[in-house]
Amino acid sequence: MRFQSLVFILVVLLASVATNQADFVDVNDPHVIEIATFAVTEYNNQHTEAKLVFEKVMSGVSNVVDNETRYSLTLSAKNGSASNNYDTIVLEKSSENFSLIAFALNPHA
């Protein structure tokens, strides 16, 4: 009985975390595309040898914490002639203030 109610509480907690936090983004939303192009431009700025060319957003989620929106996007970009998928995280503090938190090759693409 005790174990079952503990499992029930965990399931409820996890479900509420999932519904409160992450929303799937519309990959065609111009704002989502702006966030993704920012990630690629910023990555190129931080890595002088990199010349990635943004292609499209594959999938992503966003969640809002303390007025900041965190976008976790998988995007495709061209690296020379190769088209790769990259996993990125961008934090949006305001409409003019984005920061690139993470940018990594997704090896499963």
Ligand X SMILES: *[C@@H]1O[C@H](CO)[C@@H](O)[C@H](O)[C@H]1NC(C)=O
3-state secondary structure of 20: helix
How many residues bind ligand X (CB under 6 A)? The answer is: 12
Question: Which pairing describes strands 52-65 and 68-79: parallel, antiparallel, or unpaired?
Answer: antiparallel
Q: Could you give the string, one character per residue 11-40, with x where binding to ligand X holds by CB under 6 A and - elsewhere?
A: ------------------------------
The residues that bridge with 76 in the sheet, in sequence order, are: 56, 85
* Rg, C-alpha atoms of the chain: 17
* Residues 45-84 interacting with ligand X (rule: CB under 6 A): 50, 52, 66-67, 79-80, 84
Q: Which residues of the shown chain bind ligand X in the complex (CB under 6 A)?
A: 50, 52, 66-67, 79-80, 84, 93-94, 96-97, 105
